[in-house]
Homo-oligomer: A and B are copies of this chain.
Amino acid sequence: MGRWEPDAPERLVLAALDLFTEQGYENTAVAQIAERAGLTKSTFFRHFRDKREVLFGGQEVLAEMLTSGIAGAPEQAGPLAAVEAALVAVSAGLTEERRAHGPQRLAVIAGNVELRERDALKMVGFSTAMAEALCRRGVPELEASVAAELGVLAFRRGYHRWLENGGDFAEVARRTLREVRAAVAGLEGGE
């Protein structure tokens, strides 16, 4: 399978990350990314659906982990316990290599609307994936949506913390989800 210089996708990701950081996302052409990676525009689009996607690769895998995490939670677990299982399960996909470029990647995304847009879509994907998995466990549709939304919120916050402080993502995510649940309780209690 691997011919020529191996790992074309990874080389493209790294080249893109550097160029986006150096000169900004919109000032960087796909051809330029490909050139720095020793490839061509054709090859770039063979590996990535579009220019944005070079920063969001492998998220389908994470969504898959979320759903299987929920599916694999104990029978008697409630929706939020299942969501916790999902967050724990996804930690297997958050590799140390992924953490290395995380902050740089987040900075680039934060600086561009198109990229924030793609990020929003990915988060919606996570949410519906979890909600559907919860429904398959017999959770009513609305409760599933609420639990999934809270799960995504915890995931986002946990992910940021994990990038800042490191450590085990499963641990961080568990703690973050607990805080979200506390906030929910405070919401209902405080009226």
Residues of A participating in the B interface, judged by any CB pair closer than 8 Å: 77-81, 113, 116-118, 120-121, 123-124, 140, 142-143, 145-147, 149-150, 153, 157, 179-181, 183-188, 190-191
Contact = CB atoms under 8 A, between A and B. Distances in A.
A146 B79 contact: no
A191 B81 contact: yes
A172 to B, nearest CB: 15
Contact of A143 (B77, B80, B116, B187): B187
A91 B97 CA distance: 47
Contacts of A140: 183, 186
A79 B183 CA distance: 11
B183 A142 contact: yes
A145 B149 contact: no
A126 to B, nearest CB: 11
Contact of A80 (B118, B153, B187): B187
Q: Which 4 A-B pairs have the closest CB atoms?
A: A78-B191, A120-B120, A117-B121, A143-B183
Nearest to A52: B117
